[in-house]
């Protein structure tokens, strides 16, 4: 792709903007940004250009300041309504698999082979099991997650609210915080329901290293 034709097109666009009186206003800049995003990327591997098409949550949370509370509540309600709960009513899987998923940061990039299951990337942002000291701090510590919420038995009806919230949060973090930095693992198809069950076990199983004393 030659650089010179792009320069000519860009000068044309600049001339249009310069034709307007004075400095570009916010809407001109938003339009210019959209144009820049369109002409600056190409598809590569599994990373296709449709990834740049923003949904309403992404759009609303792309400003320097978050949307007003009423709008945020609207977005959260819509995201919550789209959560897919486990069809068999079983929320927890195997915490051993969950720990492997939490350690695994692969998947979804243009250098990943198609069809390879993604990891959960959890330790990038969170503390989980005590033994893992290489954890990030972008998200809150999840060490003793189940224990701190009084979940002695995840199957107990008393724990149902916490179990449901945890599933919802993993499936779609934006259902509870419109501009959360956490990816929407179920909603975006990053992780399968079976994988999310394993992460549920990592967080809530009393025998998981997250909760074990």
Residues that bind another protein (CB under 8 A): 1-3, 7, 10-11, 14, 17-18, 23-24, 29-30, 32-33, 36-37, 39-44, 47-49, 51-54, 57-59, 61-64, 108-111, 123-125, 133-138, 174, 181, 183-184, 188-190
Q: How far is the CB of 28 from another protein (least distance, A)?
A: 9
Q: Tell the smallest beta-carbon distance from residue 150 to another protein (Å).
A: 29
For residue 159, the 8-state DSSP code is G
Residues in the chain: 213
Residue number with CB closer to another protein (108 or 146): 108
Q: Which is nearer to another protein, 188 or 194 (CB)?
A: 188
Give min distance, CB of 110 to another protein, in A. 6
Cα separation of 135 and 141, whole Å?
9
Task: Give whichever of 44 and 192 is closer to another protein, judged by the CB atom.
Answer: 44
CB-hemisphere CA count at 13 Å for 155? 2
Minimum distance between the CB of residue 73 and another protein, rounded to whole angstroms?
Answer: 18
Q: Between residues 121 and 166, which has the closer beta carbon with respect to another protein? A: 121
CB of 18 to another protein, least distance (A): 8
Distance (Å, whole) CA 56 – CA 73? 13
**55: DSSP letter:** -
Nearer to another protein, 35 or 73 (CB): 35
Ordered DSSP codes for 185-209: TTTTTSS-HHHHHHHHHHHH-TTST
Within 8 A by CB and 6+ apart from 114, the residues are 45, 46
Q: Name beta bridge partners: 47.
A: 44
């Amino acid at each position: 792709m030659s650089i010179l034709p792009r320069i000519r097109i860009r000068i044309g666009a600049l001339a249009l903007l310069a034709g307007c009186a004075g400095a570009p206003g916010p809407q001109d800049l938003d339009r210019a940004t959209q144009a820049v995003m369109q002409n600056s990327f190409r598809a590569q591997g599994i990373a296709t250009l449709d990834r740049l098409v923003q949904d309403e949550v992404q759009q609303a949370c792309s400003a320097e300041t978050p949307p007003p509370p009423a709008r945020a509540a609207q977005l959260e309600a819509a995201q919550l309504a789209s959560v897919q709960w486990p069809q068999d009513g079983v929320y927890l899987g195997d915490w051993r698999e969950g720990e492997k998923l939490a350690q695994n940061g692969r998947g979804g990039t243009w250098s990943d082979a198609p069809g390879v299951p993604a990891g959960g990337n959890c330790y990038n942002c969170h503390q989980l099991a005590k033994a893992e000291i290489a954890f990030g701090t972008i998200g809150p510590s999840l060490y003793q997650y189940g224990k701190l919420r009084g979940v002695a038995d995840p199957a107990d009806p008393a724990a149902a609210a916490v179990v449901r919230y945890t599933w919802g949060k993993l499936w779609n973090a934006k259902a509870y915080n419109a501009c959360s930095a956490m990816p929407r693992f179920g909603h975006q198809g990053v992780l399968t329901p079976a994988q999310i069950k394993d992460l549920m076990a990592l967080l809530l199983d009393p025998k998981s290293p997250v909760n074990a004393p």
